[in-house]
């Protein structure tokens, strides 16, 4: 029996097959620390809590972020904190980790998207103030 056939049989038998995590996003700085563990199956864990449903638009944005950040993650992009930064972000993907201060987003639009995702997801999916 080939592996593909075996996998299809297992999936068809109702076994719970879990989806991989897309990334772990951590924001530190002013206020409370925020952690968002985003799963490709459409769930998110906010600050280590229970898994919650992630809306389809936010899931699609998370998948786009994971794809767009993959090259920087492979190179373990690290941008040092700048004077006047309020927050620092770390995003751990399958292929590596990116860390940057909020001030870096001005020169890196993909990092600005990470910041926006963190804010909107904290509010919409986690029920936090942002």
The tens-digit pLDDT sequence of the chain (130 residues) is 444 444 444 444 556 668 999 999 999 998 889 999 999 999 999 999 999 999 999 999 999 999 999 999 999 999 998 888 999 999 999 999 999 999 998 889 999 999 999 999 999 999 998 6
With respect to residue 51, please indicate whether it lies within any of the assigned structural domains.
Answer: yes
Q: CA angle, 76 as apex, 100 and 92 as ends, to 5°?
A: 70
The answer to whether the beta carbons of residues 49 and 125 sit under 8 Å apart is: no
With respect to residue 11, please indicate whether it lies within any of the assigned structural domains.
Answer: no
The answer to whether the beta carbons of residues 20 and 94 sit under 8 Å apart is: yes
With respect to residue 68, please indicate whether it lies within any of the assigned structural domains.
Answer: yes
Phi, psi (5° rounding) for residue 50? -70, 160
The answer to whether the beta carbons of residues 89 and 114 sit under 8 Å apart is: yes
Helix ranges (H only) for 54-108 are: 56-74
Please, which residues bridge with residue 87 across strands? Answer: 29
With respect to residue 36, please indicate whether it lies within any of the assigned structural domains.
Answer: yes
Nearest Cα neighbor of 88 from 47, 31, 43, 19 is 31
The answer to whether the beta carbons of residues 8 and 72 sit under 8 Å apart is: no
Count of domains forming the chain? 1
In whole angstroms, what separates CA 10 from the centre of its chain?
29
With respect to residue 82, please indicate whether it lies within any of the assigned structural domains.
Answer: yes
Domain encompassing residue 23: 18-124
With respect to residue 38, please indicate whether it lies within any of the assigned structural domains.
Answer: yes
With respect to residue 26, please indicate whether it lies within any of the assigned structural domains.
Answer: yes
With respect to residue 115, please indicate whether it lies within any of the assigned structural domains.
Answer: yes
In whole angstroms, what separates CA 48 from the centre of its chain?
13
């Amino acid at each position: 029996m080939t592996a593909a056939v075996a996998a299809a049989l297992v999936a068809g038998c109702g076994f719970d097959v879990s989806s991989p995590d897309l990334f772990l996003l951590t924001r530190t700085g002013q206020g409370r620390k925020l952690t968002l563990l985003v799963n490709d199956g459409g769930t998110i864990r906010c600050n280590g809590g229970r898994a919650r449903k992630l809306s389809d638009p936010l899931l699609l944005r998370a998948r786009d972020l994971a794809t767009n950040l993959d090259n920087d993650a492979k190179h373990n992009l690290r941008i040092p904190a700048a004077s006047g930064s309020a927050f620092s972000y770390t995003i751990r993907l399958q292929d590596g980790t990116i860390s940057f201060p909020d001030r870096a987003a001005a020169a890196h639009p993909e990092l600005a998207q990470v910041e926006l995702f963190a804010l909107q997801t904290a509010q919409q999916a986690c029920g936090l103030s942002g």
